[in-house]
Copies of this chain bind each other. A is one copy, B any other.
Amino acid sequence: MSGNSFGQRFRITTAGESHGQGNLVIVDGCPPGLELQLDDLRQDLARRRPGQSRLTTQRKEADEPEILSGVFEGKTTGTPIAILIRNQDQRSKDYSQIKDVFRPGHADFTYWSKYGLRDYRGGGRSSARETVARVAAGAIARKFLDSKGIHVLGWVDRVGDIQAQITDSNLVTLESVESNPVRCPDPVAAEKMAELIDQVRREKNSIGGRCTLVVQHIPAGLGEPVFDRLKADLAKAIMSIPAVTAFEIGSGVEAGSMRGTEHNDPFRLENGQVVTTSNHHGGMLGGISSGMPLVIRATIKPTSSLAQEQLTVNQHGEETTIITKGRHDPCLLPRFVPVGEAMVLVCLADHYLRWMERHHNPD
């Protein structure tokens, strides 16, 4: 137990369930003096909010945050910042029929095995609803990293077998990502993805995909070998999100097919700075940032909740079938983007502070 905190210096602790009073996060370690408004939080929360388009779940949540502590006269004070987002559209009745049944691909069985009881209302804490607290924390991390010139941007690069064509990932903008409901900056691919998602929805099925996350203007030196390598902590950050099945940096799984001469990125000088001529290493060497952009990829499985009959077992040890009726995203990818960004932001804010410790230390 007690696995609900992430980070060491910029440390977040979350609580809350899908159908309880709400979800909340305490951010401990945010530096003082940072301007923080509700609007800073609302912006990222809106990108994660359900019901944005027909491609996402129709559950309606205002997701209005309340800042309970840590901000005084519009600025962070250095004390813990608590954010509460109350649940609104809970409709517990939607879930009463699955009270005793383990939904395939869901955490119903494992929570019941672990805790001996479970909050069956919409998955309780195993629901992706808990990520709303992560996004609120990420918005605070974003404010901090913005002040250091570091920017994090994610997008959908694959849905099923449809792969976006991105010539230069360093040129992708937030505007191009947000220009369509899929959050794919390649407009041609985005349209095909939207069609595919709509099709699987009509077929009462779901589809997986992949998200790319890029970090620009990160200084060299972040990451703490040997275990708290930057890639290791980013992996934990991303793999802690529901439904993620793979994590890659730089060339990722393709590195397994490459030769050293292909994969090694030669160093060269650019305006007196050491850079690499390519970025197969994804911005990290030896677990420490190299100054090149970080490139991370997360694969997300198809939504487990399906509006068609599936074989399963119930709590009484009987085989049975289930049709999940609730309101679900046929593809998790579009709403994953702000969640993936949030975890990268939190992880980087943490490592930035760890790096500060050292960087300004010797006189």
Contacts and interface: CB of A to CB of B under 8 A. Distances in A.
Interface string A275-300: 01100111011111111000000011
Interface residues of A, number: 160
B22 A68 contact: yes
Contact of A26 (B26, B102, B232, B291): B26
Contacts of A266: 104, 310-312
Nearest to A291: B113
A155 interface: no
A187 interface: no
A38 interface: no
B319 A269 contact: yes
Contacts of A361: 31, 353, 356
Given A299-B252, A306-B261, A357-B356, A229 B28 contact: no
Interface in A40-84: 66-70, 72, 75, 77-82, 84
A363 B148 CA distance: 9
Contacts of A210: 253, 256
A326 interface: no
Given A147-B363, A290-B109, A356-B360, A31 B304 contact: no
Contacts of A116: 32-33, 362
A170 interface: no
A180 interface: no
A337 interface: no
A354 interface: yes
A259 interface: yes
Task: From A1, A80, A221, A247, name the one whose CB has the most chain B CB atoms within 10 angstroms.
Answer: A1
A37 interface: no
Contact of A224 (B2, B106, B257): B2
Contacts of A176: none
A68 B26 CA distance: 13
Contact of A68 (B20, B117, B311, B353): B20
B72 A119 contact: yes
Nearest to A301: B255
Given A253-B246, A286-B242, A310 B69 contact: no
A32 B208 CA distance: 33
Contact of A1 (B31, B82, B121, B289): B31
A69 B28 CA distance: 19
A224 to B, nearest CB: 3
Given A208-B257, A256-B210, A105 B229 contact: no
Contacts of A181: none
Contact of A357 (B9, B262, B303): B9
B239 A3 contact: no
Contacts of A113: 220-221, 288, 290-291
A169 interface: no
Contact of A200 (B22, B224, B259, B287): B259
Given A4-B225, A13-B80, 8 more contacts: A2-B7, A3-B227, A16-B69, A33-B362, A77-B117, A109-B290, A209-B256, A246-B248
Which 5 A/B pairs are nearest by Cβ-Cβ distance? A107-B286, A3-B224, A3-B228, A2-B29, A206-B260
9 contacts: A2-B8, A3-B28, A4-B227, A31-B362, A32-B117, A104-B276, A105-B281, A115-B358, A231-B239
